[in-house]
C-alpha cells in the first residue's frame, strides 16, 4: 500500500494513446501505450483508455485507493466539464469523455486540450518551469498552443481560447482543414513543410538531394528527410526551412507583441530538428517584434518530448483537484 497520492495522465492522440502514473512532483512511475482504435469510435476508444489504465496500475502495483484523479489531454476542444466539442483526428463531435471515463473508472476525470496540458508539464518540470508567463507551441501534424498566464492555465471563457494554429497570418497556396485559408499551421506544421516541399519538387528542375533520398517517390517524403537535407546544405531543403522559419517568426512575434511572455517553448516532431532553425528563428523574430531594443522573450526548445502529454495531464488533474 502506498501512502502517497498519484495521478493518471492520459495522452490521447489520433494514432496512439499513452497512459502514465504520475507522482505529485510530476515524475512518471510507470507507463504504457497502444495504438488508438479510431475505427471503433468513441466507445471503443474509451474502453481502450480504461484497459490501459488498468494495465498500468497492475504493472506499477499502485492501488486504486492511491490514485487521486485522472487527467486526459485530447487533440481538440472541450469544456471544463470534459465535454469534447470536437476532436478532428478522432472523428469525434459532442461526446462526454469526462463523464464516460468517470463511470468506467470510478475516479475523478479532468479533460483539457493536449497542447495545454503539455504546457503545464513544461511549466512544472520543463524548460518553462516557474515562469510567470509562458507559451508552449507543439509543431507536428498541425500546430497547437498552450498558455500559462500569471502562473495560471489560460484557455479562454469557453475552453477554446488557445487555438493558435488557426490564427490567420497570410495567404497560402492551399486551404486549412478547418476551411479557412492562411492558418498559422498551414505554414509551419510538418504537414505544411511536406506540402510546400512537394510543390517545389514539382516546379523546379534541380530537385536536389531530397529527390534522391526519397528515390523519386513523393510518398516517402517526411519532415525529417527535409531537415536532414537542410543540415547538409541542400538548396531546396533550405528553401523549405527558410519559408517555415519566416512564417513561424511572424507568428511568434505576434504572440510576443500581444502577451509579452517570459518564454515561448517549441515542442512536437518538427522541434526535433530545432538546431537547424532555432538560431535563424530568433534572428527572424527580431524583425517583427515591436520593441526591438530589448531582448524580451526567450525562445527555447521544449525538453519533455514524448512524456509531456502524460506528465501534463496528470499534473492538470492535480491542479484542478487542489482547487476544489
- pLDDT tens sequence across 150-200: 999 998 888 778 889 999 999 999 999 889 999 999 999 999 999 999 999
The domain covering 6-122+306-323 belongs, at the CATH homologous superfamily level, to ATPase, nucleotide binding domain (3.30.420.40)
pLDDT (tens digit, 9 = 90+) per residue, 50-105? 999 999 999 999 999 999 999 999 988 998 889 999 888 899 999 999 999 999 99
Q: Is the pLDDT of residue 3 over 70?
A: no
Burial class of residue 1 (count of CB atoms within 10 Å of its CB; 0-12, 13-18, 19+):
exposed
- Between β-strands 67-74 and 6-12, what pairing exists: parallel, antiparallel or unpaired? parallel
> What are the domain boundaries of the chain?
6-122+306-323, 129-302
Judge if 6-122+306-323 and 129-302 fold alike in CATH terms: yes
Is the distance from CB of 317 to CB of 101 less than 8 angstroms? no
| Pick from 251, 256, 223: nearest CA to 237 | 223
Question: Is the domain covering 129-302 a CATH 3.90.190.20 domain?
Answer: no
* Phi, psi torsion values for 204, nearest 5 degrees: -95, 145
Residue-wise burial string across 104-122, b where 16 or more C-beta atoms lie within 10 A, e elsewhere: bbebbbbbbbbbbbbbbbb
pTM of the model: 0.90
**Cα separation of 266 and 278, whole Å?**
10
Q: Which residues pair with 67 in a beta bridge?
A: 6
**Sequence-separated (6 or more) residues with CB below 8 Å from residue 299:** 252, 263, 264, 266, 278, 281, 282, 285
Per-state percent for the chain, helix, strand, coil, to nearest 5: 45, 25, 30
Amino acid at each position: 500500500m502506498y501512502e502517497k497520492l498519484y495521478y493518471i495522465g492520459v495522452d490521447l492522440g489520433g494514432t496512439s494513446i499513452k497512459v502514465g502514473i504520475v507522482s505529485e512532483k510530476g515524475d512518471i512511475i510507470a507507463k504504457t501505450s497502444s495504438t488508438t482504435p479510431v475505427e471503433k469510435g468513441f466507445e471503443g476508444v474509451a474502453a481502450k483508455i480504461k484497459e490501459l489504465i488498468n494495465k498500468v496500475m497492475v504493472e506499477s502495483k499502485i492501488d486504486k485507493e492511491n490514485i487521486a484523479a485522472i487527467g486526459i489531454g485530447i487533440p481538440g476542444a472541450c469544456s471544463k466539464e470534459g465535454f469534447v466539442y470536437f476532436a478532428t483526428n478522432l472523428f469525434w463531435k459532442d461526446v462526454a469523455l469526462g463523464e464516460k471515463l468517470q463511470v468506467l473508472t470510478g475516479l475523478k476525470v479532468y479533460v483539457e486540450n493536449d497542447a495545454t496540458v503539455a504546457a503545464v508539464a513544461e511549466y512544472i518540470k520543463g524548460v518553462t518551469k516557474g515562469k510567470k508567463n509562458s507559451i508552449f507551441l507543439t509543431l507536428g501534424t498541425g500546430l497547437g498552443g498552450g498558455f500559462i498566464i500569471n502562473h495560471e492555465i489560460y484557455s479562454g471563457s469557453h475552453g477554446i481560447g488557445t487555438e493558435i494554429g488557426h490564427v490567420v497570418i497570410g495567404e497560402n497556396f492551399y486551404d486549412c482543414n478547418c476551411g479557412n485559408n492562411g492558418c498559422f499551421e498551414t505554414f509551419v506544421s510538418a504537414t505544411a513543410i511536406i506540402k510546400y516541399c512537394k510543390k517545389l519538387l514539382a516546379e523546379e528542375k534541380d530537385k536536389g538531394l531530397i529527390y534522391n533520398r526519397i528515390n523519386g517517390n513523393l510518398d516517402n517524403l517526411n519532415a525529417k528527410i527535409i531537415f536532414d537535407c537542410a543540415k547538409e546544405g541542400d538548396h531546396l531543403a533550405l528553401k523549405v526551412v527558410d519559408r517555415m522559419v519566416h512564417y513561424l517568426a511572424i507568428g511568434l512575434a505576434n504572440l510576443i507583441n500581444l502577451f509579452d511572455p517570459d518564454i515561448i517553448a517549441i515542442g512536437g516532431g518538427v522541434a526535433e530538428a530545432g538546431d537547424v532553425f532555432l538560431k535563424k528563428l530568433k534572428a527572424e523574430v527580431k524583425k517583427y517584434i515591436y520593441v526591438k531594443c530589448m531582448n524580451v522573450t526567450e525562445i527555447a526548445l521544449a525538453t519533455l518530448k514524448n512524456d509531456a502529454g502524460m506528465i501534463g495531464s496528470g499534473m492538470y488533474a492535480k491542479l484542478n483537484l487542489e482547487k476544489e
